[in-house]
Structure 1
Amino acid sequence: MNPVEFKDLPGLVGQEVGVSDWVEITQERVNQFAEATGDHQWIHVDVERATKEMGGPIAHGYLTLSLIPFLGAGMLPIKGVARGINYGSDKVRFINMVRVGKRVR
């Protein structure tokens, strides 16, 4: 998609603006996220136990959420912005798990 001017974003409300590339959720990515956040819960990092008890490890919910800036930049490049600041999230819910080895976009 062609870059969009920041000033033109309000005109895109309600429109589909694009689709990002796929990103594979690898065990390495999950392990790195666990190291960065200190969240080493077995459902994420203990491959053997997670496979035995629940069919395989799953990604942290916040790992999938943290991909939004990366995926968004590939989906809708924006011109005229010097920096971006996270304002927050409202009513975020993780309604399904993302298994290691799957792709998201």
Structure 2
Amino acid sequence: MSDVTPPPAPTPPPAAPYAPAAAGPKTNTLAIVSLVLAFFVSLGAVICGHIALSQIKKTGENGRGLAIAGLVLGYLGLVAGLIGVIAWIGFFAIAASSGGITFAP
């Protein structure tokens, strides 16, 4: 017998560095807009939030939680604004009736 070494085993091809992302349902844009608007324009957040929930229900997109968060913050902003306006009017009504503020020149 002769000293013959067998050939080396073939090397497998290199693995892909990462798997491609699965294309799932996208996030509803109006849900994102609703959440962002909740910090600036409460009425816009409420309107966009309701429209987003309606679209999500029809299309099955993601973003229901974002839309609900935008709605909750939007309604809280509206209530806070309404309380602020009532307090502002009350302050001036009390100040004017007590003689602390005169509006005549």
Considering the TM-score relative to the shorter chain, is it more than 0.5?
Answer: no
Counting helix residues as a fraction of each chain, which structure ranks higher? 2
TM-score normalised according to structure 2 size: 0.20
Larger Rg over CA atoms: 2
Counting strand residues as a fraction of each chain, which structure ranks higher? 1
